[in-house]
A and B are shown apart, each in its own frame.
Chain A
Amino acid sequence: KAGVTQTPRYLIKTRGQQVTLSCSPISGHRSVSWYQQTPGQGLQFLFEYFSETQRNKGNFPGRFSGRQFSNSRSEMNVSTLELGDSALYLCASSFLAGGPGELFFGEGSRLTVL
Chain B
Amino acid sequence: DAKTTQPPSMDCAEGRAANLPCNHSTISGNEYVYWYRQIHSQGPQYIIHGLKNNETNEMASLIITEDRKSSTLILPHATLRDTAVYYCIVRVEAGKLIFGQGTTLQVKP
Contacts and interface: CB of A to CB of B under 8 A. Distances in A.
Contact of A48 (B34, B51, B96, B100): B96
B97 A45 contact: yes
B24 interface: no
Contacts of A55: 94-95
Interface in B37-66: 41-46, 49, 51
Interface string B58-96: 000000000000000000000000000001000101111
Chain A contact residues (Cβ within 8 angstroms of B): what range? 20 to 34
Interface residues of B, number: 22
Contacts, number: 64
The A interface, classified by DSSP as helix, strand, loop or mixed, is: strand
A107 B43 contact: yes
A98 interface: yes
A56 interface: yes
23 contacts: A4-B43, A31-B94, A32-B95, A42-B100, A43-B44, A43-B99, A45-B97, A48-B94, A55-B94, A56-B94, A92-B95, A97-B95, A98-B93, A99-B94, A100-B32, A100-B49, A102-B46, A103-B44, A103-B95, A105-B43, A105-B44, A105-B45, A106-B43
